């Protein structure tokens, strides 16, 4: 993680550093989700699941040491004048997410692997190359691509058709930061493929920003497949099992919400579900945060549990953000 990557999350609004890490790796607690929503980075949820805490902490320390951010209240930091200048100078190296929203997307890593392997297999097939190291070793990914490839390879025009579909998608990507050129450059095929270092040189983005651009591009593909699947039959066939978007609300919270919707008071929901009252309240906070249909007025009439400042404060914050 480059310091400019982390700096891009700061502004004049005081905020804690740790929730940024937890949102990036996808640690789902009310407090992290709330911090992400409040500071406008909740869409980065699970955008960097393999980011190491030591790397993140080291980067945060550098921002503090170099006075690019400063503490205004305990554990709360804002961008300094120096930080603002630094951001102005280096912002071209950073890509901010535009399409991706981590709570509302399917597993893009699987989609990435399926697509990357399909490109590699097709490219090598076209050039008669049979021995190469696959870009994905995942058993299910390889199996899926194998089935897909067997299905299409009898068609003499299949590579051309696949290329046309990829072109249809890439043509839809925004041009300001060369999203399509970048995406195509990340493909590996017969004697084609660049290392991450080369891609950094070519596109002038930090490695994390490249990853974010990739997420945006893949999100675009998922949306395209949902809207215009007839234009991309081969890609749809390849990815159809992977583009399902799960409900961002956890199953347990959904059950609580269902009972809440049926008018049960919170104490009854807790008793019926054999859960602690505090867990029921956590579920409602989760729903209130992630579903804009949540009825705050109804909560007043159904909340018969002893008052909790923690719950009330958080619910109020969520309501204010609506």
Partner 1 sequence: MNLEQELAHYFGFKTFHPGQKAIIEHALKGDAVLGVLPTGSGKSLCYQLPGLVMHRLTVIVSPLISLMQDQVIQLRQQGQSKVVALNSTVRKAEQTYILQHVKDFDFLFVSPETLGRSDVLLALKQISIGLFVIDEAHCISQWGVDFRPSYLQLRHYRQILKPYSTLMLTATATPKVQADILDKLGLIKQAVRIITNVDRPNIFLDTVKVADDEQRQQLLQTIIKHITWPGIIYFSSRQAAEEVALQLQQTLHIPTAFYHGALSNRDRQLIQQRFMTNQIPIICATNAFGMGINKKNIRFVIHYHAPSSFESYLQEFGRAGRDGKQSIAITFITPADAGLQANLLASGLPSTSMIQMFYNEPRLFAHTDDQALELLRDFYSSGLEMTQVQQMLTAKYQEKQAALTEFQRYLSAATCKRQLLSDYFGQKAVHSHDDTCCCLGQDEAVLTTLKKLNLYQRDSTQQPRSLQKAIETPKVVHWQQTLKQLFE
- A 10 A CB-CB count for 197 gives 9
Q: Is 55 in the site for partner 1 (CB under 8 A)?
A: yes
Q: Which residues contact 45 (CB under 8 A, 6 or more apart)?
A: 23, 24, 26, 28, 33, 36, 101, 102, 103
Q: Does 313 bind partner 1 (CB under 8 A)?
A: no
Shortest Cβ distance from residue 200 to partner 1 (Å)? Answer: 9
In the set 87, 93, 168, 187, which binds partner 1 (CB under 8 A)? 187
Please, which residue, 160 or 312, has the CB nearer to partner 1? 160
Among 198, 258, 271, 321, binds partner 1 (CB under 8 A): 198
Instruction: For the chain, report the end-to-end CA distance as a whole number of angstroms.
Output: 32
Kindly state whether residue 73 participates in binding partner 1, applying the rule CB under 8 A.
no
Among 197, 251, 300, 307, binds partner 1 (CB under 8 A): 197
Rg of the chain taking only CA atoms, in angstroms: 23
Of 202, 231, 237, 305, which lies in the binding site for partner 1, with binding defined by CB under 8 A? 202
22 neighbors 32 (Cβ within 8 angstroms): yes
**CB of 263 closer than 8 Å to CB of 126:** no
Minimum distance, C-beta of residue 93 to partner 1, in the bound complex (Å):
15
Q: Are strands 76-79 and 69-73 parallel, antiparallel or unpaired?
A: antiparallel
Check binding of 188 to partner 1 (CB under 8 A).
yes
Cβ proximity to partner 1, 48 vs 270, nearer residue: 48
Contact 242, 107 (CB under 8 A): yes
Figure out which of the listed residues 62, 78, 97, 159 binds partner 1, where binding follows CB under 8 A.
Answer: 159
Give the Cα separation of 121 and 146 in Å (integer).
9
Residues in contact with partner 1 by CB under 8 A are: 52-55, 110, 119, 122-123, 126, 131-135, 137-140, 142, 159-160, 162-163, 166-167, 170, 178, 180-181, 183-185, 187-199, 201-203, 207
């Amino acid at each position: 993680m480059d310091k400019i990557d982390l700096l891009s999350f700061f502004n004049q609004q005081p905020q804690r550093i740790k929730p940024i890490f937890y949102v990036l790796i996808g640690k789902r607690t009310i407090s992290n989700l709330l911090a992400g929503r409040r500071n406008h980075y909740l869409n980065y949820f699970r955008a960097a699941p393999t980011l190491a805490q030591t790397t993140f902490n080291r980067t945060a320390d550098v921002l503090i040491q170099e006075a690019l951010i400063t503490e205004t209240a305990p554990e709360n930091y804002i961008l300094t004048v120096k930080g603002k200048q630094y951001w102005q100078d280096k912002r071209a190296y950073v890509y901010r997410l535009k399409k991706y929203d981590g709570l509302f997307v399917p597993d893009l890593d699987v989609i990435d692997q399926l697509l990357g392997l399909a490109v590699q297999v097709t490219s090598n097939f076209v050039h008669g190359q049979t021995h190469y190291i696959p870009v994905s070793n995942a058993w299910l990914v390889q199996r899926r691509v194998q089935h897909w490839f067997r299905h299409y390879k009898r068609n003499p025009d299949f590579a051309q058709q696949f290329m046309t579909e990829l072109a249809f998608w890439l043509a839809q990507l925004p041009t300001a930061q060369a999203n399509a050129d970048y995406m195509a450059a990340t493909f590996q095929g017969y004697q084609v493929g660049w290392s991450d270092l080369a891609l950094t040189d070519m596109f002038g983005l930090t490695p994390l920003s490249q990853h974010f651009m990739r997420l945006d591009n893949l999100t675009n593909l998922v949306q395209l497949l949902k809207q215009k699947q007839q234009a991309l039959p081969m890609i749809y066939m390849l990815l159809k099992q992977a583009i399902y978007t799960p409900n961002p609300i956890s199953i347990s919270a959904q059950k609580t919400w269902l009972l809440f919707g049926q008018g049960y008071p919170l104490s009854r929901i807790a008793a019926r579900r054999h859960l602690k009252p505090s867990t029921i309240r956590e579920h409602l906070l989760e729903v209130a945060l992630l579903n804009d249909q949540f009825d705050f007025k109804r909560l007043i009439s159904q909340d018969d549990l002893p008052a909790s400042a923690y719950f009330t404060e958080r619910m109020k914050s969520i309501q204010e953000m609506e």
